[in-house]
């Protein structure tokens, strides 16, 4: 975690880098993406200041998120505001693979003009992830939404997250915490209590599984390797939750982010292997059978054209009177 932070943090001091990031995010969020068989609602309704010069942004008259009196005075729908910010981040992560890693309240304004759109600021700490990582994160999200333990472990393998223990149910419970419904500030105490109780249950299950004593289980790390790209992603989810709490609104992240994650996976599936070089993921091979199956799929794709040609040449003879 420290290594990843040390790698990314210095970029915030490079204003040329930040200016280019701002232009890229603005361009990405202005596009309307289509996926699957129909249009997916991936367009987002946010504002990003235009870069005038390296250190000069377009002026936008907005309200700070911590200025609750002004938000009330202007009649800002705080729930809708956080939902739109969440949609913007879902688009950046799952559609663009290029997202701001620092969504704290100070990096947003709210437009004073109706319909009070969120204004996104400060793109110094902006993370770019590969297509395979983007798909793995989408797969992790959807596996949590569906309660699919097998898909979750597959997503972990694809993103490079290695576990030291085989406890799929506990893995699903822990991963689902990041995507759970946010709570208001008044509910935070009960939420923390519930999370602590779940943590104790997981620790007990781990203790029984690994045959550890109470002292050993406290120091046991079930994760053997954690991908750096996922660290900033997890940080973003936590900060978005903090945003909900600070504005005292409840957000259902699974409903908001799901169309974007689905669009990412559907887009990968609908592209043919000739245009999608990652149609078979370079994830760990768990058995000899799986290795043979992958090779067979590659061979089938390579010979597909000749199979079609052979069938087409044969059809006239089949239907001859």
Residue 100: strand, helix, or coil = strand
**Separation CA 136–CA 143 (nearest Å):** 10
Instruction: Give the pLDDT score at 52.
Output: 77
Spell out the alpha helix ranges (H) of 31-167: 68-73, 78-90, 131-146, 149-159
Instruction: Give the pLDDT score at 134.
Output: 92
91 shares its domain with 118: yes
**Separation CA 244–CA 256 (nearest Å):** 14
Quick one: pLDDT band at residue 183, thresholds 50, 70, 90? low
**Separation CA 157–CA 149 (nearest Å):** 13
DSSP state of 43: -
The residue that leads in pLDDT, 279 or 66, is: 66
Report yes or no: 16 and 89 within 8 Å, Cβ to Cβ: no
Measured at the CA of 283, the angle between CA 280 and CA 285, to 5 degrees, comes to 100
25 burial via Cβ count (<10 Å: 0-12, 13-18, 19+) = buried
158 shares its domain with 238: yes
Instruction: Give the pLDDT score at 177.
Output: 74
Q: Residue 275: inside a domain, yes or no?
A: no
Q: Residue 279: inside a domain, yes or no?
A: no
Q: Residue 189: inside a domain, yes or no?
A: yes
261 shares its domain with 222: yes
The residue that leads in pLDDT, 24 or 42, is: 24
297 shares its domain with 210: no
Instruction: Give the pLDDT score at 234.
Output: 87
263 shares its domain with 321: no
List C-alpha distances in Å: 293 to 275, 287, 302.
21, 10, 14
For 58, other C-beta atoms within 10 Å of its C-beta total 11
Q: Residue 280: inside a domain, yes or no?
A: no
**Separation CA 42–CA 92 (nearest Å):** 10
Q: Residue 277: inside a domain, yes or no?
A: no
Instruction: Give the pLDDT score at 156.
Output: 87
CA pseudo-torsion sign 233, 237, 239, 243: positive
253 shares its domain with 300: no
Number of independent structural domains in the chain? 2
Quick one: pLDDT band at residue 165, thresholds 50, 70, 90? confident
Q: Which helix (H) or strand (E) holds 53?
A: strand 51-53
76 shares its domain with 196: yes
Q: Residue 121: inside a domain, yes or no?
A: yes
44 shares its domain with 104: yes
Identify which of 123, 118, 104, 125 has the alpha carbon closest to the alpha carbon of residue 60: 118
Identify which of 241, 238, 237 has the alpha carbon closest to the alpha carbon of residue 251: 241
Q: Residue 43: inside a domain, yes or no?
A: yes
Out of 227, 243, 270, pick the residue that ends a domain: 270
**Separation CA 245–CA 79 (nearest Å):** 11
254 shares its domain with 317: no
List C-alpha distances in Å: 306 to 109, 280, 313.
58, 21, 10
225 shares its domain with 202: yes
Mean pLDDT of 147-161: 87
Instruction: Give the pLDDT score at 75.
Output: 95
314 shares its domain with 244: no
254 shares its domain with 301: no
For 102, other C-beta atoms within 10 Å of its C-beta total 21
- Could you identify the residue written with the tokens 């395979």? 132
Cα 45 vs. chain centroid, distance in angstroms? Answer: 19
Per-residue pLDDT tens digits for 73-110: 999 999 999 999 999 999 999 999 999 988 888 899 99
Report yes or no: 145 and 204 within 8 Å, Cβ to Cβ: no
Cα 122 vs. chain centroid, distance in angstroms? Answer: 20
**Separation CA 182–CA 188 (nearest Å):** 9
Structural domain for 292, as ranges: 285-321
**Separation CA 120–CA 124 (nearest Å):** 12
Q: Which of 46-55, 241-250, 302-311 has the lowest mean pLDDT?
A: 302-311
**Separation CA 207–CA 81 (nearest Å):** 43
Q: Residue 74: inside a domain, yes or no?
A: yes
């Amino acid at each position: 975690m420290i290594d990843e932070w040390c790698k990314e943090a210095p970029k915030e001091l490079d204003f040329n880098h930040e200016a280019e990031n701002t232009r890229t995010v603005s361009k990405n969020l202005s596009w309307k993406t289509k996926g699957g068989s129909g249009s997916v609602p991936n367009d987002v309704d946010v504002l990003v200041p235009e870069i005038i010069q390296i250190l000069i942004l377009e002026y936008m008259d907005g309200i700070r998120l911590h200025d609750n009196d002004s938000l009330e005075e202007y009649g800002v729908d705080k729930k809708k505001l956080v939902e739109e910010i969440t949609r913007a981040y879902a688009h950046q992560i799952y559609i663009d693979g290029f997202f701001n890693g620092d969504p704290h309240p100070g990096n947003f304004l709210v437009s004073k003009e109706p319909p009070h759109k969120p204004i996104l600021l400060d793109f110094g700490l902006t993370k770019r992830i590969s297509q395979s990582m983007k798909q793995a994160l989408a797969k992790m999200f959807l596996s949590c939404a569906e309660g699919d333990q097998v898909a979750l472990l597959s997503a972990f393998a694809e993103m490079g997250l290695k576990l030291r223990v085989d406890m799929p149910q506990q893995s699903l419970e822990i991963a689902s915490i990041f995507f759970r419904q946010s709570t208001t500030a008044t509910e935070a105490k009960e939420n923390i209590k519930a999370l602590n109780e779940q943590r104790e249950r997981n620790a007990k299950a781990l203790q029984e599984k690994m045959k550890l004593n109470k002292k050993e289980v406290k120091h046991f790390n079930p994760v053997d390797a954690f991908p750096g790209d996922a660290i900033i992603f997890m940080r973003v989810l936590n900060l978005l939750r903090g945003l909900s709490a600070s504005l005292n609104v409840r957000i259902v992240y699974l409903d908001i982010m799901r169309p974007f994650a689905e669009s990412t996976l559907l887009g990968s599936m609908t592209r043919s292997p000739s245009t999608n070089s990652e149609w078979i993921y370079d994830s760990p091979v768990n058995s000899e059978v799986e290795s043979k199956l992958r090779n067979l799929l590659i061979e089938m794709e390579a010979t597909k054209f000749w199979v079609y040609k052979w069938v087409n040449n044969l059809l006239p003879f089949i239907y001859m009177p």
